[in-house]
Amino acid sequence: MTARKTAPKAVEPEQITLLPLDQPRSIVLMQSARKYIYTLRRVLTADWEKYFVGIVNQVRNLDGMREQIFESESALLELADAVIASVQVPTLPIHENGYPLNQRLAVGQALCSVSAAMGDDDTTVLLNACWSADAEGKMQLFKGLVHRFNQPTIDQVKRWNYELARVRVRGTSKDGLTTFPSRQLAAMRIYDELIVSVEGYGLTAGMLTGVEAIRREMDGLHKAEAAMQLLGGSEVTIL
């Protein structure tokens, strides 16, 4: 099942603004000529942790057959259900199991709309992120959100490489199940260890500054994406 037809379009803010981490978010969807305005509470670190853990990434071997299993849609639905505070639309049909499935998926997709790239040096990461709808109902795209880090230590690199290589195996090679745990949880922890400063983020009280405040207030997905980009790095050419 896909929610692409209902997913909101993003536009760049007309003026430089800070991404408001502690403000409620709004996702506006269009379906069948109706506008659905979803208001969301703040997505907490615990919400992101549950989402990351809920993503299923497995390989199953049975009688010589190999089956790859990757399923994130259920975790995405649970994330959306946890943070939806209200929906505004005339005569919205509320079902026994909640709001329409494809709309909840679209909300989840909007929450996860983050991309990362390296900055001008190997300890700076830039994120682009959709965050919330503006007054006209269009998603705002915040570009070039800056995350500056300390250089990872050998111990931190070892821990990260361990997470990349770690698998859980039950059974045998002919009849067993291999599970690949989430890397995002480890990335969030390493983010808190390495972060130095950020730009482009704000709170009700003003610009987000200070390492302790960043650790406490930064969105969990932004932490994970920035740290994974830092540890993955960019390609280096040997001349």
Q: Is residue 238 part of a domain?
A: no
187 CB-near residues (< 8 Å, 6+ apart): 160, 223, 224, 225, 227, 228, 231
Q: Is the pLDDT of residue 71 over 50?
A: yes
Could you say which DSSP state residue 74 is in? H
* Reported confidence tier of residue 66, pLDDT bands at 50, 70, 90: confident
Q: Which residue has the tokens 């709808």?
A: 133
Determine, yes or no, domain membership for 4.
Answer: no
Q: 209-231 pLDDT, tens per residue? A: 999 999 999 999 999 999 999 99
Q: Report pLDDT for 33.
A: 80
In a domain, 123, yes or no: yes
- The number of distinct structural domains making up the chain is 1
Note the pLDDT of residue 2: 42
151 located within any domain: yes
Residue count (the chain): 239
Tens-place pLDDT, residues 77-96: 999 999 999 888 755 555 55
How far apart CA 195 and CA 226 sit, in angstroms, is 10
The verdict on residue 239 lying in a domain is no
Average pLDDT for 33-47: 92
Rounded average pLDDT over 156-171: 83
Q: Is the pLDDT of residue 1 over 70?
A: no
Name the average pLDDT for the chain: 85
What distance in Å separates the CA atoms of residue 116 and residue 230, rounded to the nearest whole number?
Answer: 9
Q: Is 201 inside a domain boundary?
A: yes
Percentage of residues in the chain having pLDDT higher than 70 = 85
Domain-embedded: residue 144? yes
Of residues 5 and 189, more confidently modeled: 189
Domain that holds residue 180: 12-232
Q: Is the pLDDT of residue 163 over 80?
A: yes
Q: In what order do the strands lie in the sheet with 206-207?
A: 19-20, 201-203, 206-207
pTM: 0.83
The answer as to whether 62 is a domain residue is: yes
Condensed to tens digits (0 to 9), the pLDDT of residues 102-159 reads 999 999 999 999 999 999 899 999 999 999 998 888 889 999 999 999 999 999 999 8
